[in-house]
Chains A and B, each alone.
Chain A
Amino acid sequence: MNRKATAAVVLSSVLLTACAMSPTSPDGSEDVRTRLTTLQQNPEMKTHARTELRDAEAAVQLAEQPLADNEAALADYRVYMADRMVEIARAKGQTRLLESERERLGEQRDAARLAARTREADRAHAEAERARGSQADAAALSAREAEEMQRRIDDLEAEATERGLVLTLGDVLFATGSAQIQGGTNQNLEKLVTFLDQYPDRQVLIEGHTDNVGSAMFNETLSRQRAESVRRFLTDRRINSDRLTVSGFGFDRPIASNDSAMGRQQNRRVEVIIENRE
């Protein structure tokens, strides 16, 4: 029994030694193994050439098997096959990697193209919108402005002439022979103030006129004083006096005949001329 065991141990030792001492792997198989290991350690290759790497592994293992000296041709054959299998795995892995990158590149390019187009379209749209908007704005603004101004002119009961807007303040404004404005406030004058506030760039001429009752000197002075009264009214309402020019024409410029009371009344007036903007 004991002897048998000893024999078994000795036999196994001999067999193991025989294995260890057996001929080494064929020439070239080591190089192929190194290249295969490099590929197997590359995660990209592991992903893209899984099957090919498995086939190559089998081929390399076969090539690594030690062979008798008289089987050198078989050894060469196995190494040749293993070598090509490893290189095929590498090439196929590269191809698939490139293909997967291509997908990404294609997506990238498509995205860039889309972005370019979107941007172009956006810009064109924005430009069109802007052009349309500014035109519309300008048109709307000027239309609104014109409308507004017309409303104010209508309100003022002024007359549009070549010289500008002419507002005629009748003689009811003043007591006979007086330059004082009656009643403190006057609706027409208030409207005038509002209008001048609204259009601060308009220059204003204030011209006093009378009928032909009395001397020319008296009438000229009276007409000027009445025009001055209007100016004072306006400056009191904070209209800048620089905008206001005052003249007294006496009875030089009648608008009706002084032969009738009606005519004379029409001639007694102060005209406010709001000059057109240049």
Chain B
Amino acid sequence: MNTDTIRRACRRTGLFTTLMLATLTLVACASAPLPPTESLNGARDTIASAEQAEARRYAGAELEEANRQLAEADKAVADERMTDADRLAKQARVAAELAMARTEAAKAAAINRELERDAEALDEEMQRLGDQQ
């Protein structure tokens, strides 16, 4: 009966130790966080896509902004401010997405202007043909 009580106590102590260890590990992880690789890569990829889409020409300021945010994110990583780094990386990404969206809009507008000019030229041509008749 007494032996039984001791064994139980030992088991409890083991469980307690395990829990303590786990908690310590988690605390260790929180105090030395990893850089937000995923966010940073996402930002870099999106900026690259925007550049590919000629964002420098059509949305230069927005692309500039994205690059600035990415630079800030890199600085935060160096300073081990990983939460800031993650946010800045996400800001860089969304800024690059905006640069891309505005680039697409500007390109679409240019194409439409071209089409309108074409149609007008054709209309004028028609008018001339009509007058000749």
Given the complex, which residues of B lie within 8 Å of A94, measured CB to CB? Answer: 105, 108-109
Q: Is the CB–CB distance between B94 and A81 below 8 Å?
A: yes
**Closest Cβ of chain A: how far from B7's Cβ, in Å?**
48
**Interface segment, one of B12-20, B21-29, B30-38, B95-103:** B95-103
Cross-interface CB contact of B98 among A91, A99, A102, A109, cutoff 8 Å:
A91
Size of interface on A: residues with Cβ below 8 Å to B? 28
Give chain B nearest CB distance to A76 CB in angstroms.
9
- Contact at B129–A95, with CB atoms within 8 Å? no
Q: What is the predominant secondary structure among interface residues of chain A facing chain B?
A: helix
Size bracket of the B interface: 20 to 34
Which A residues touch B95, using CB under 8 A? 84
Q: Determine if B104 and A91 form an interchain contact, defined as CB atoms under 8 angstroms apart.
A: yes
Q: Which residues of B contact A105 (CB under 8 A)?
A: 112, 115-116, 119
B108 touches A84 (CB 8 A): no
Looking at the assembled complex, report how far the CB atom of B58 sits from the nearest CB atom of chain A, in whole angstroms. Answer: 11
CB contact list, B84-133 vs A, under 8 A = 84, 87, 90-91, 94-95, 97-98, 101-102, 104-105, 108-109, 111-112, 115-116, 118-119, 122-123, 125-126, 129, 133
Contacts of B84 in A (CB 8 A): 73
The answer to whether A99 touches B94 (Cβ under 8 A) is no
CB distance from B54 to the nearest CB of A (A): 14
CB distance from B45 to the nearest CB of A (A): 16
Q: How far, in whole Å, are A94 and B116 apart by their CA atoms in the complex?
A: 17
Binding site for A on B (CB under 8 A): 84, 87, 90-91, 94-95, 97-98, 101-102, 104-105, 108-109, 111-112, 115-116, 118-119, 122-123, 125-126, 129, 133
10 closest A-B pairs by beta carbon, nearest first, are A91-B101, A98-B108, A84-B94, A105-B115, A77-B87, A95-B105, A109-B119, A94-B105, A91-B105, A112-B122
Residues of A within 8 A of B (CB): 73-74, 77, 80-81, 84-85, 87-88, 91-92, 94-95, 98-99, 101-102, 105-106, 108-109, 112-113, 115-116, 119-120, 123
